[in-house]
Every structure is written in C-alpha cells, then in structure tokens.
Amino acid sequence: MTKALYADIIVPLAVRGRFTYLVPVDIIDRVKTGMRVIVPFGSNRLYNGIVCALHEQKPTFRNIRSIKDIIDNIPSVNELQLRLWSWISEYYMCGIGEVMKAALPSGISMNRYKPKQEGFIKFTKYFNEEELNRTLDALKKAPRQQELLLTYLGLSGYGTVDGEKPVSKSSLLSGSHSAPNTLDALISKGILSLYSQPVSMISSVTYATEPVKRLSDAQAVACLSIINQLKVKDIVLLHGITSSGKTEIYIHLIDEQLKQGKQVLYLLPEIALTTQIIERLKRHFGNSTGVYHSRLSDHERVEIWRKVAGNDPSGRYRLILGVRSSLFLPFSNLGLVIVDEEHDGSYKQHDPAPRYHARDSAIMLAALHNAKTILGSASPSVESYNNAVTGKYGLTELMERFGFIKLPEIILANTREAYKRKMMVSHFTPELLHAMDDALGKEEQIILFQNRRGFSPYIECPECGWIPVCIQCAVNLTYHRSINRMVCHYCGYTAGIPSKCDSCNNTGMVTRGFGTEKIEDEIKIVFPSARIARMDQDTTRSRNSFNRIIKAFEERRIDILIGTQMISKGLDFENLTVVGVLNADNLLHYPDFRSHERSFQMLEQVSGRAGRRSKQGRVVIQTSDPDNRIIRLVLRHDYKGLFRMQAEERKAFNYPPFSRMVRINIKHKDKILLNQYSEILGRDLKELFGKRVLGPESPVISQVQLWYIKTILIKIEREKPPAKAKQLINEAIERTEREKGASSLRIAVDVDPY
C-alpha cells in the first residue's frame, strides 16, 4: 500500500501559517505544488488554496481534513514565486495568505481562460516565384480573386526577408475591399487556407523594431561601469541626473538580456509613467513587451500572467514594464530587474498587508533568480546611496545631461516678500508669472506643480514663516483640527497652538494648505486664452485618462498642465521649458523624518522635467523661506550635500538606514479599551526593547471611520539579524491579543513603514 500524501496549503486569508490536508487517493497522480485546490477551512467554508508543499509526514493534530478538488491542470504558481511569497510574509510580518491575495490576480484561472480566437489566412503550401506567377496568371479571368491574392502578398510580406507574417481574415478582406465569397473561392481552389489562432486581448500595435540608440560617450562609460560592477556585485545604483539618459542605458542592458534569452522586469513607481516609457520600449523590443498595472481588467491581468509564464500560444512576454505588483508575475527566467526612480515612496504599500516595499522585494526576487538588480535615480534614497557608498551596492554616476544641455536654472520666488509688497496675484509671484508669460509668448509649454500633500495642514507665522517643530525629533508638528493641538507624528509629543511666534513674537499664527483645483481656477483667470489642463487623482479616474492628458501635452494641445506628484517624475516632453512649484513650503513641512529627503527629491524630479531637449529650462520655486537648507541644495542641484546632511541627522536620531523601523498599528472601536491594550503592548515591548520603543501615540489621523488608532514605533538595531526581534514582537502581540476582552482589537504590523 502506498503511504498517505499530505499537502501544505496556503489559504487566501489573514491567518498565520500554512495548513496541512490529506490528498485523496484519486488525485494523488495529478496534484503538484503551485496548483490551486479547493479546501474546507474554518467551520464549513470552502476556499481556493495553493499547494506549497507535498509530503508524507502525518500531522500531529487529529481530524485531518481532505482536499476537495484540484482546480488546475498545470501549476498556477512556480517554486520561485512561492519562495518570494514566503520571504515577503516573513520579512513584512504578515500571513502568507495575504501575500497570495495580493499576488494572484482575482480572475486567474489557468483552465477556464479561453483566449479569443480569430481567423487567419495563409498559403496552403510554399510557392516559389515561378509558381506564384503561374497562379496569378491563372486568375486573370477572376480579377477580384487576383486582387485579393496580391493584397495578401503585400500584407503577409511573403517572399521578403522577414518571411510570411500572419494575416487576419478581417484585415485581408478590408484591405482588399473584397467580399467573403472571393476569399472562399481562393480557399476552395486550394491556394489559401483559413486557420484560427488566439489573438491577444491587449491592444497589440506592432511597432517596427528600431535598433537601440547609440550611447553618448558619457552614457557608454556609465553603461560599461554598470556591466563591470555587476560581474562582482548583484546590485548597482545608477545615480544619473535628470535627462542624462538613464532610460537609454536601461534599454541597452535590456537588449543584452533579451539576446541571452532572459526575462527582464522594469519597475516604475507610477502608472502615469508607463505611457511614455512603454512606447520607447516597444519601439525597440516590439510585442515581447508587456505592461502591468492596476488599471487592467481581470481578463487582461490573466492574459499577461499567462504570457509571462509562457503558457500562451500567441506569444511570450520577456520584458515587463510594471508598477509594484508586477513583482508577483510568474517569471521563470529573470536576468535583470530595473527599479527606476528607486527613491520613490509609492514603491511602498501601506495598506492592506502585505505592507511590502517593491524595491526591496525586487532585490529579493532578483536574488531568487540569480539575476542582477539596477536601481536608478537622479536623487537616490538615503538607504540606497548609503549602501552604495559603503560598498554593498555598486555605484555608477552620470552627471551630464544628454546633448550637454544644462540643468535648469532655478529661480527662487519669495512669497512672503511678494505678499508684503502686495505683488502676489492670487497664489502667483511676479517671477512665476513673468516666466509663464515669456514661455507662452514663445509657444513653449509649462507645468505647474502643487503637491497633494499640500492639503495636510501645519501652523505658520505669517510674518516670519516660523513653523513649530517637535522638541524631540527633527520634524515639524502637524495641526490636528479635531483636538486643536499640534502633534509629532513620530514620538507622540503634542503641544497647544502657540499664541505667539517663537521667532518674532508675532501673535496670530495661521494654518496653511491649498490644492490643484484651486490653482487651475485661478490660472484660468490670469491667462484666459491659454489652454489649461489638470492631472491629479480626480482627473485620472478613467482608464485612459493618463494617456489622453500626456498625449495632448506631447502634441502641444495644452499650454499649461497643473498637477500633483504624478507629473513630477519621469515624463519627457520636448517643448516644456518652464516648471513652476507653487508652494515648496508644504513639501518641506511634511511631518516625517524623511521630509527633507523627500522634498529635495520632489523638487529635483519636477525641475528635471524642464528643458530636456534643445535649451536650458527654467524652474520657479515659490517659497516663504528661500534660505532654507534644502532649497539651497536644490538651487545647486547638490545631491551629495543632501546625502551628507541627511546621513548625519539620521545617525544622530537613530533613524533608518542606521536602525530598522517596525510600526505597530492598534485599532479598537472603544477609545478607552484601545488606550488600555496599547499601554499593555507598549509596556511589554519596552521590557524587551527598552528605549527603542516610542509610543503608544495617536497618529495624525487618530480615528478612521469607527476605529480609534494608536501606533507604537520600534527601532531595531541594524547590526543584528531582524528575525529574532520580529519573533519577539509577534509574541508580544499575541500576548496582548490573548488578554481578556481583546478579541475586537486589531493589530497590524508595518516593517520599514516609510
């Protein structure tokens, strides 16, 4: 008798661990790891789970349940994907079922999926030139048939070096203006034949594949430096200023990988950026390039999934351009992962779990495939640059713009002065209006940037621009309207609204903040004949809205584009010469230990959009604090200065990269119970980690819907492996969860919550 077989199953639920089931005898021959199966879980519900291991080890618990059925014929998920899930669940301290939920497109079904079929036409056999001429001659008396055959020859490229390309029945009929019976006649004469083949649902425009561009001398040096460093290191950071041609370098490196038969993943932080870059990539790599983002339909997701896995007969994707979730595609043969704009905050998923960082997970993904990773940025994150200067990563720097165009000139416009002198026109300084006027006169284009974060309010002295900061951390305090107090986001310190300014004794502090919509309304009044558009979350809800706005701007149908951080990075417009930053103060005063780093990055990115092709651009930065250290660094485009300053500060306050951070979010609908349990957890953690525990504190948004929220922050020593600390944290959480009456408490853990 054969031994019983057991399967460890991942269920798509927020529960820890894997669950063991018995494999029924009738499916033993078919079941494989990575297949989806139906299993009972909990009282009586059935779930689609994934087999992550098969073994003969009988579990110790009683009442072992059986798998009900297998869903797949072939595994949905490969071994490397399961290992990535497992790493994410351990590192980010969440259930592997939660990773499964994020990773598998909800429509996925490897069997039920039926690619759309379409009729295609081909020759019944190979005709040489002589035979072909004879056939055409024979059709002299049937001119319509002859015409159709000639059209087929043209469309298919028959006899050319590229060989016969598939021609769909519909395109042949419309191309030759023929009726279906003309085609039927040629089919019954045995000249042409009809067959059906799946067509891609994804709009597949065939681009002529252009050879990759010749690199400039500086680019060639950088490219070679990357290649050489990757011989000895797994990760290289490409620090290249805006418009230096980082994308062109990636294209070279991708080309090399594809020629070796490898797959490449190219990660971007924003869906808005995929529009332009996918066109650039398809020009060189044609239809083996796929794009994956959150706006796709379930069917499209499944199709991309299949094309990456290589299970789709209509083609295989070897290059994927995508946002963070494209990490989870079924790659089997990755050679290279590119993380563009690696510093970008949108790589981090905050809610729901898995609260993963796509850059860091991408590095893990690459490692699982024995592949290499390139991180690229004009203003790298402090963590990555630190890894590069300490030698953990390779470092390549590219400090000249393509075509030797100078970085844009930065003009500081002092809003406080302008207000005082009554020179402001609504939110616009004379400097900004002048630059805009000038550009419009030359039919050049303008981008106005107003960060979404501009909505988060802070307190400011209208006379001298002083802003209250935390007495314990290097961050500004945030105004909480609900409690009418200022709170430190990081340590929980709170203070009342100051009755007078600390710096100039002025009484009458004010709250600040305004958004893109208001700017749009006002700019229409100032420039009534300009064509104005806005790009932010509200104007880009529909599927193709990014595309439409970007195309319209490229085709110069928009003069002034107003937008949030969506327009600040990566976009490449030929005729854009002026960038206006409406309120740099908002950026600088975001309550975060990274606010300085982030504001530098944002300002550097957005100014990088200006003057990318033929002439130097201009950037007008409006600020009430032109002497601000960060603004001064932006003025000189001094990234290294920023890094040195940030590294020092982080060291002093023990922030990442000099420590690891874990944040615990605790929620309860009862405020008193929430306080009680978070105190218990806080005390428990302080016994384990001492002063490294900050809080419990009330976060900026201390109540969401009916849930009250507290957070606890733990700084873990960098030098020690984090697994032990994470285990201690988990145990402490479990102890709190076992407290009497704690059943309606919700505790979520966020590792690297920044």
- Quick one: 343 or 427, whose CB is closer to ligand ADP? 343
- Site for Zn ion (CB under 5 A): how many residues? 15
Tokens of 704: 């969401």
* Interaction partner, residue 245 (ligand ADP, Zn ion, none; CB < 5-8 Å by kind): ligand ADP
To ligand ADP, the closest distance from the beta carbon of 378 in angstroms equals 7
To ligand ADP, the closest distance from the beta carbon of 721 in angstroms equals 36
Strand duo 372-377 + 235-240: pairing = parallel
To Zn ion, the closest distance from the beta carbon of 649 in angstroms equals 14
- Quick one: 328 or 490, whose CB is closer to Zn ion? 490
To ligand ADP, the closest distance from the beta carbon of 537 in angstroms equals 24
Cα dist from 209 to 285, 289, 308, 451, whole Å: 6, 12, 20, 38
Q: Please identify which residue in the block is written with the tokens 């079941």.
A: 31
β-partners of residue 532 are 560
- Quick one: 401 or 663, whose CB is closer to ligand ADP? 401
Chain residues 484-543 in contact with Zn ion, contact rule CB under 5 A: 488, 490-491, 493, 501, 503-504, 506
- Quick one: 238 or 258, whose CB is closer to ligand ADP? 238
- Quick one: 400 or 559, whose CB is closer to ligand ADP? 400
Q: Does 64 bind Zn ion (CB under 5 A)?
A: no
- Residues in touch with ligand ADP (CB under 6 A): 213-216, 219, 240, 242-248, 402, 572, 612
Residue 262: closest CA among 366, 393, 395, 375: 366
- Quick one: 219 or 314, whose CB is closer to ligand ADP? 219
To ligand ADP, the closest distance from the beta carbon of 276 in angstroms equals 9
* Interaction partner, residue 278 (Zn ion, ligand ADP, none; CB < 5-8 Å by kind): none
To Zn ion, the closest distance from the beta carbon of 510 in angstroms equals 11
Residue choice 228, 472, 537, 730 for contact with Zn ion (CB under 5 A): 472
- Quick one: 101 or 246, whose CB is closer to ligand ADP? 246
Q: Does 171 bind Zn ion (CB under 5 A)?
A: no
Which letter does DSSP use for residue 466 in this model?
Answer: -
* Interaction partner, residue 472 (Zn ion, ligand ADP, none; CB < 5-8 Å by kind): Zn ion
Could you give the 3-state DSSP secondary structure of residue 557? coil
The window from 67-75, 382-390, 419-427, 482-490 that contacts Zn ion (CB under 5 A) reads 482-490
Q: Does 694 bind Zn ion (CB under 5 A)?
A: no
Q: Please identify which residue in the block is written with the tokens 């009916």.
A: 706
**DSSP letter for each residue of 407-440:** PPEEEEEEHHHHHHTT--BTTB-HHHHHHHHHHH
Q: Does 27 bind Zn ion (CB under 5 A)?
A: no
Q: Report which secondary-structure segment, H or E, holds 639.
A: helix 639-653
Residue 579: closest CA among 621, 551, 614: 621
* Nearest 10 degrees: Cα torsion 322, 326, 332, 338: 50
How many whole angstroms from its chain centre is CA 244?
A: 22
Q: Does 170 bind Zn ion (CB under 5 A)?
A: no
The sign of the CA dihedral 72, 73, 77, 83 is positive
* Interaction partner, residue 504 (ligand ADP, Zn ion, none; CB < 5-8 Å by kind): Zn ion
Distance between CA atoms of 257 and 510, rounded to whole angstroms?
56
**What is the distance in angstroms between the CA of the first residue and the CA of the last residue of the chain?**
56
Distance between CA atoms of 211 and 206, rounded to whole angstroms?
15
Q: Does 725 bind Zn ion (CB under 5 A)?
A: no
- Quick one: 216 or 665, whose CB is closer to ligand ADP? 216
- Quick one: 575 or 676, whose CB is closer to ligand ADP? 575
Residue 455 and residue 461 in contact, taking contact as beta carbons nearer than 8 Å: no
* Interaction partner, residue 216 (Zn ion, ligand ADP, none; CB < 5-8 Å by kind): ligand ADP
To Zn ion, the closest distance from the beta carbon of 664 in angstroms equals 17
β-partners of residue 395 are 237
* Interaction partner, residue 219 (Zn ion, ligand ADP, none; CB < 5-8 Å by kind): ligand ADP
Sequence-separated (6 or more) residues with CB below 8 Å from residue 316: 288, 307, 308, 310
- Quick one: 196 or 503, whose CB is closer to Zn ion? 503
Cα dist from 387 to 46, 47, 226, 381, 384, whole Å: 46, 43, 16, 10, 5
To ligand ADP, the closest distance from the beta carbon of 586 in angstroms equals 25
Distance between CA atoms of 550 and 557, rounded to whole angstroms?
10
To ligand ADP, the closest distance from the beta carbon of 578 in angstroms equals 18
Could you give the 3-state DSSP secondary structure of residue 299? helix
| Interacting residue ranges for Zn ion, rule: CB under 5 A | 461, 463-464, 466, 470, 472-473, 488, 490-491, 493, 501, 503-504, 506
